Amino acid sequence: MLRCDICFVHTFVVRICSAVDTITSKQSILDGQELVSSGGSFILGFFSPSQSKHRYLGIWYRNISPQTIVWVGNRGRPINDSYGQLTVSADGNLILLDGAGNTIWSSKSNSARSIKEPTAKLLHSGNLVLVDGTDTNSDGYVWQSFDYPGNTLLPGMRLGWDAKTGLHRQLTSWKSADDPSPGNFTFSIDIGVLPQFVLRQGVIRKYRSGIWNGFGFNSNLRTSTGAVVPTFTFNSNEIIYMAGSADDTTTILVMGHNGFVEQYAWDKETLQWITIYEARKDRCDNYGICGPNSICNTHNLPVLCDCLPGFIPRSQVEWDAFNWAGGCIRKTQLDCRKPDGFMTLRRVKLPDVLQFWTNENMNLKECKEECLKNCKCTAYANLNVIEGGQGCLVWFGDLYDMRLFISHAGDDEKKEQDLHIRLAASDVESIADGRKKKRPTMMIVIILVVSGVLVLVSFIICFIIKERKQKDNKGTRDNLNEDLELPLFSLATVLTATDNFCCENKLGEGGFGPVYKGILAEGQEIAVKRLSETSRQGISEFKNEVMLVAKLQHRNLVKLLGVCTQGEERMLIYEHMENKSLDQFIFDSRRSKMLDWKRRLDVIVGIARGLLYLHQDSRLTIIHRDLKTSNILLDTEMNPKISDFGMARIFEADQSRVKTKRIAGTYGYMSPEYGIDGLFSVKSDVFGFGVIVLEILSGMKNRAFQHPDHHHNLLGHAWILWKEGRPLELMDVNLGSSGFKSELLKFMQVGLLCVQRAPEDRPTMSAVVFMLSNDGLTLAEPKQPGFFVERCPSCYTKEEYCTHSAVTITLVEAR
């Protein structure tokens, strides 16, 4: 808001005493003054990024905190004093001056028309426009900030090429979170024959959306909330993408300084930005990750990449080592003297258009014939999905950057494009014969499975009926057996396996109850969690864990083998983890040496992948709510597996976070918004993961941490070391080496990003996995972590610190 100040501009004295959205050539905006848009949504003024003395002219949201900058005028040339001045020149340009009168930035209007009354106005959409007098019709704009986007696309803004103005609008990242200078990443529409969005780091492609097919971009681009309805115009005059109506002032698309493009919507209830779309949400979105002639498939983790039908790895050795860069080559080379055939791939992202040919007037049959005429043609597809798929698109050479799409409810299969890959006739015949042979075998398998299931179901039904008859009224408190989808272990089997719950077989005890090691008759080792009468968890938590874990299958999640619900017993039978839990290694001075640097990093990445599966890649969105080192188990190869899902919660598709009066979790791992206000989301798990990362790197517990120079917890100590440029001091002394500086810096930075106080500042697990799996990325600068307050050292003894660090909160009423 403009204050009631006196502004000296070219001998004119102007007194402005109310909030305005307009200035004329007789007025200026000085540093400390502001324009407020009509409707009050946006502000134009001067700002300094966090921890910077530089001043920038920018536009930001008026009533949203923290400050959200959506446009910066002088990105590449900051003002070094606090005497900046924005004025409207007589020739119809905006001029930004510093205290010495130097021109820092200019709107550089190319208008050839005569301007009588140049006026600058901040519109309700956040668009800063130059007009002649009071003409605010868009056709009358002399200049507008919407033509020069920075890192943010507001509704009503456009990306792409305009033949009339010659503008090619794109998003350009900030150099860092605190530096608006143009960064290394751009997000733009390639303006070739077939437009598509491309994310680049310099000149290197990092992601592409897939080509425009008349209905949408041939990709897995989706917005989960429907808050924004984008429009796309493609003709000889313009190639324009516009993200929704200018009337919507609470949705933005941001090109992050770290190379991520995300769309956010402002949640008025929680007062935070909620992510509703990510351009790169998994590894298959990394450009060309599988090399040529291959396809990426997130359902195939950890293998991820498959050769196309009729192709084999260029190097089997590298392929088996998960190095897919070399891609695949044909089993049989094409021979134009013999008739070739085609294999059809459905629900795929079409290859990049590197070498291609199009004809808008051909149908698909004619397209196939055209491909067969050219020996270099390798695949074809319909060019346009509108009006029956008219048009022909043909590829030559290698097929690059393909992925298999994930099916979603409501997807319109008629709007999808099939890819027809050209193969030697012998390969087509071989693939077809293989499929025919599989069909009878599959039928036999299906019949046997169905028969076996029917017999098993009949047995279970009889068993349940028998058990119910034997139970008294106390034994009827929960009809769990009706819902179980896992093998049922008899009590006799469990007793035999554990030697009647012998003390020597006891592995430990948690909130659920004691855990025993057992050996089944066939020799398989098991871990038995037995619900105790004094357990802080109850029947509902037992049932919750059964129902959740039965539906989850991932290499980094512990496998539930079955349950025992005979009589009053409630037991979970898991695969046995030979090395027990992570906390027994990293917090033990002797055993921690067995967890060397590489294994620690592998453990961190494994936990991240397991958590990503829970949040995004499984059929359900699951919040663990009690992620901690003691709930990370290690197998014989030291591979991590997330366990203990008694407190986990399933999120519905339309939920972003939930509030509860029943807080479940462990002090030291709970996020601030959850531990204080009972608000939990996927970002709550991200916080717990960040704590684990810092504990693994340091070998120290968060809450039990003590330091002679301060009374912060481990998170606060790590933050202090980071800000003071001493990150190497965090490394576990038991590692005995400082040769891992770059890796330590990256993993420490990711850990600090995960434990930031505000949930909206924390990355998603897909972003975490991407950051951990890729080198050379420019990561965001972490903000202050949660619970960055010094504790009272006289309030606890050392023993009390250690005791409190292990306390698990269960079913606590929030106050």
Q: Three-state secondary structure along 307-339?
A: ECCCEEECCHHHHHCCCCCCCEEECCCCCCCCC
Q: What is the pLDDT of residue 716?
A: 92
Q: What is the pLDDT of residue 114?
A: 67
Would you say residue 29 has pLDDT above 80? yes
The average pLDDT across 753-763 equals 93
Would you say residue 441 has pLDDT above 60? no
- Kindly report each contact of residues 804-807 with a partner whose C-beta sits within 8 Å and lies 24 or more positions away, as own/partner: 804/667, 804/703, 805/667, 805/668, 805/701, 805/702, 805/703, 805/704, 806/666, 807/666, 807/667
The average pLDDT across 488-512 equals 86
244: left (phi over 0), alpha (psi -120 to 50) or beta: left
Among 77-86, 566-575, 796-805, whose mean pLDDT is lowest?
Answer: 796-805
The separation between CA 751 and the C-alpha centre of its own chain, rounded to angstroms, equals 15
Residue 478's pLDDT band, with cuts at 50, 70 and 90, is: very low
Q: Which two tokens stand for residue 273?
A: 């930005």
On whether the CB atoms of residues 61 and 155 are closer than 8 A, the answer is no
Would you say residue 17 has pLDDT above 80? no
Q: What is the pLDDT of residue 367?
A: 93
Would you say residue 149 has pLDDT above 50? yes
The separation between CA 74 and the C-alpha centre of its own chain, rounded to angstroms, equals 31
CA separation for the pair 172, 188 (Å, rounded): 9
Nearest to 68 by CA among 154, 156, 170, 155: 154
On whether the CB atoms of residues 763 and 772 are closer than 8 A, the answer is no
The average pLDDT across 307-313 equals 95
Q: What is the pLDDT of residue 207?
A: 93
Q: Of 192-201, 251-260, 297-306, 405-414, where does the model show the most confidence?
A: 251-260
Would you say residue 60 has pLDDT above 60? yes
On whether the CB atoms of residues 698 and 731 are closer than 8 A, the answer is yes
On whether the CB atoms of residues 672 and 715 are closer than 8 A, the answer is no
The average pLDDT across 720-738 equals 83
Q: What is the pLDDT of residue 774?
A: 85
Please give the backbone phi and psi of residue 26, each rounded to the nearest 5 degrees, phi first.
Answer: -95, 5
Among 21, 306, 617, 626, which one carries the catalytic annotation?
626
761-794 core/surface letters (b: 16 or more CB in 10 A; e: else): bbbbbbbbbbbbeeeeebbbbbbbbbbbeebeee
Would you say residue 663 has pLDDT above 70? no
Q: What is the pLDDT of residue 33?
A: 94
Q: Which residue has the tokens 């205290």?
A: 99
On whether the CB atoms of residues 107 and 94 are closer than 8 A, the answer is yes
More confident residue, 4 or 417: 417
Which residue type occupies 738? Answer: S
Which residue type occupies 240? Answer: I
Q: Is the pTM of this model over 0.75?
A: no
On whether the CB atoms of residues 209 and 202 are closer than 8 A, the answer is no
The separation between CA 495 and the C-alpha centre of its own chain, rounded to angstroms, equals 45
The average pLDDT across 507-518 equals 82
Nearest to 685 by CA among 618, 752, 754: 754
Q: Which uninterrupted H or E stretch holds 204?
A: strand 204-208
Would you say residue 442 has pLDDT above 50? yes
Nearest to 122 by CA among 31, 20, 26: 20
Q: What is the pLDDT of residue 301?
A: 63
Q: What is the pLDDT of residue 568?
A: 76
Q: What is the pLDDT of residue 7?
A: 29
The average pLDDT across 790-805 equals 45
Instruction: Tell me the torsion sign for CA atoms 385, 616, 185, 145.
Output: positive
Q: What is the pLDDT of residue 12?
A: 35
Would you say residue 372 has pLDDT above 60? yes
Q: Of 125-129, 321-325, 666-670, where does the model show the most confidence?
A: 125-129
The alpha-carbon radius of gyration of the chain (Å, integer) is 31
Among 18-27, 40-49, 765-774, whose mean pLDDT is lowest?
Answer: 18-27
594 C-beta neighbours (distance < 10 Å), count = 12
Q: Which uninterrupted H or E stretch holds 636?
A: none
SS3 content of the chain, % helix, strand, coil (to 5): 25, 30, 45
> 252-262, pLDDT tens digit by residue?
999 999 888 98
Q: Which residues contact 241 (CB under 8 A, 6 or more apart)?
A: 158, 159, 160, 189, 197, 230, 231, 232
The span from the first CA to the last CA of the chain, in angstroms, equals 39
Q: What percent of the chain has pLDDT over 70?
A: 77
Active site (annotated) includes residue 626: yes
Would you say residue 476 has pLDDT above 50? no
Q: What percent of the chain has pLDDT over 90?
A: 37
The whole-chain average pLDDT of the chain stands at 80
Q: What is the pLDDT of residue 138?
A: 61
Would you say residue 396 has pLDDT above 80? yes
131 C-beta neighbours (distance < 10 Å), count = 22
Would you say residue 732 has pLDDT above 60? yes
Among 371-380, 629-638, 738-747, whose mean pLDDT is lowest?
Answer: 738-747
Among 263-277, 419-433, 565-579, 727-741, whose mean pLDDT is lowest?
Answer: 727-741
Nearest to 45 by CA among 14, 69, 64: 69
CA separation for the pair 366, 347 (Å, rounded): 22
- Label residue 398 exposed, middle or buried (CB < 10 Å: 0-12, 13-18, 19+): middle
Q: What is the pLDDT of residue 384?
A: 81
Q: Tell me how many degrees the CA angle 587-593-595 measures, rounded to the nearest 5.
A: 80
> 518-566, pLDDT tens digit by residue?
999 888 999 998 877 655 555 666 776 676 676 677 889 988 888 888 8
The average pLDDT across 344-372 equals 91
Q: What is the pLDDT of residue 436?
A: 56
Residue 674's pLDDT band, with cuts at 50, 70 and 90, is: confident
Residue 28's pLDDT band, with cuts at 50, 70 and 90, is: very high
Would you say residue 792 has pLDDT above 70? no
Would you say residue 584 has pLDDT above 80? yes
The average pLDDT across 669-694 equals 90
On whether the CB atoms of residues 556 and 639 are closer than 8 A, the answer is yes
Would you say residue 471 has pLDDT above 60? no
Would you say residue 687 has pLDDT above 80? yes
Would you say residue 327 has pLDDT above 50? yes
The average pLDDT across 337-363 equals 90
Nearest to 479 by CA among 487, 471, 287: 471
Q: What is the pLDDT of residue 277?
A: 79
Alpha helices per DSSP H over 613-704: 672-677, 682-698
More confident residue, 815 or 688: 688
CA separation for the pair 380, 341 (Å, rounded): 12
Q: Which residue has the tokens 């039904």?
A: 461
The average pLDDT across 94-119 equals 83
- Label residue 669 exposed, middle or buried (CB < 10 Å: 0-12, 13-18, 19+): buried
Residue 796's pLDDT band, with cuts at 50, 70 and 90, is: very low
More confident residue, 456 or 476: 456
Among 73-77, 198-202, 475-479, 518-522, whose mean pLDDT is lowest?
Answer: 475-479
Instruction: Tell me the torsion sign for CA atoms 71, 77, 78, 82.
Output: negative
The average pLDDT across 49-61 equals 92
Q: What is the pLDDT of residue 251?
A: 86
Q: What is the pLDDT of residue 739?
A: 64
489-519 core/surface letters (b: 16 or more CB in 10 A; e: else): beeebbeebbeeeeeebebeebbbbbbbbbe
CA separation for the pair 244, 158 (Å, rounded): 10
CA separation for the pair 549, 563 (Å, rounded): 11
Among 73-82, 227-236, 491-500, 797-806, whose mean pLDDT is lowest?
Answer: 797-806
Q: Of 381-390, 648-657, 787-796, where does the model show the most confidence?
A: 381-390
Q: Tell me how many degrees the CA angle 756-626-539 measures, rounded to the nearest 5.
A: 155
